[in-house]
Amino acid sequence: MRDYVHNFTTYLARAVAAGNLSDLERGRWFMRGLPIEYCRHAIEKTGAVADEPSTFVFERLRQAVLSRMTAVEGAERMSVLSHQNTQEMQLVQELRQ
């Protein structure tokens, strides 16, 4: 997911510099490449409205997606740590017996 955001941002800069993409199109194209759960999150966080292209502001959408990715990665880390802690507690209990 981070690769998509990075690559899109890089290609976007080139397309804008060449005059191939308008400001209004940037956010829409970005959203097209996202998984649905990230689209929903970005729309919710930015207030973007499907029928109003001017609400799809690329930088705001990108920031919303990055914050979602950070939250997901943090939750995954916590899950791994929780599992490791459980295993350590079981080992301690076994050693105490």
Range 66-73 contact pairs with CB under 8 angstroms and sequence separation of 24 or more: 66/5, 68/38, 68/41, 68/42, 69/1, 69/2, 69/5, 69/38
Q: What's the angle, vertex CA 72, arms to CA 70 and CA 75, rounded to 5?
A: 110
Question: How far is the C-alpha of 12 from the C-alpha of 16, rounded, in Å?
Answer: 6
pTM of the prediction? 0.74
Mean pLDDT estimate for the chain: 85
Give how far Cα 4 sits from Cα of 49, 81, 93, Å.
Answer: 23, 27, 45
Q: Tell me the pLDDT tens digit for each residue of 42-74.
A: 999 999 998 898 999 999 999 999 999 998 888
Kindly tell me if the per-residue pLDDT of 81 is higher than 80: no
Domain boundaries of the chain, sorted by first residue: 2-96
Q: Tell me the pLDDT tens digit for each residue of 84-97.
A: 566 666 655 666 65
